Amino acid sequence: MLFSTKKRDDDSNDPDLDEDEDVKRQKNYLRSRMDFLFARYNLLTKKYDEAIDKLTASIITYSEIYGPESVGLTAHYFYLANYFSEIIDKDAEERDVIIMNIYLKITEIWKKYFLGDKNELFESIICLNIF
């Protein structure tokens, strides 16, 4: 057991771990992107249960990498607002408030981005691939 602990300590300085983190981050990004594309497809085909599952999974995965207020998530939030605009079982007034708050959040995120306000806890996006 002592040897396995020593082996893990020795591996912490290994440069391959950084590569593994990069590969893991890239896989999570691609998984998020795939979920987002399926969510958009399911919204178009009116499969709302599947759409919201894929959209929330995409938002969670993407925000783990880049943060919940990343400009890359604004497209996700836009389609979330579309989801709320298409569901009928909500009260119209409540639905309008939810949609308005989502749009306000999108504008707030872009305002922070243009002002250069960055969250140091998350990576910043250099290249935007929103829609």
Residue 16: per-residue pLDDT: 58
Q: Which two tokens stand for residue 78?
A: 């836009």
pLDDT, one tens digit per residue, over 44-100 is 999 999 999 999 999 999 999 988 888 999 999 999 999 999 886 768 888 899 999
- At 70, phi and psi to the nearest 5? -80, 145
Residue 91 lies in a domain: yes
The type of residue at 76 is H
Query: Does residue 80 sit within a domain?
Result: yes
Structural domain that includes position 49: 19-115
Q: What is the pLDDT of residues 13-54, one digit of tens each?
A: 555 566 788 899 999 999 999 999 999 999 999 999 999 999
Q: Give, in order, the Cα–Cα distances in Å from 29 to each of 24, 49, 54, 87, 129.
A: 9, 23, 14, 28, 12
The number of residues in the chain equals 131
Domain assignment of residue 106, yes or no? yes
- Rounded to whole angstroms, the Cα distance separating 29 from 34 reads 9
Structural domain includes residue 124: no
Residue 43 in any domain: the answer is yes
Number of domains in the chain: 1
Tell me the whole-structure pTM to 2 decimals: 0.74
Structural domain includes residue 5 = no
| Reduced 3-state DSSP string for 8-38 | HHHHCCCHHHHHHHHHHHHHHHHHHHHHHHH
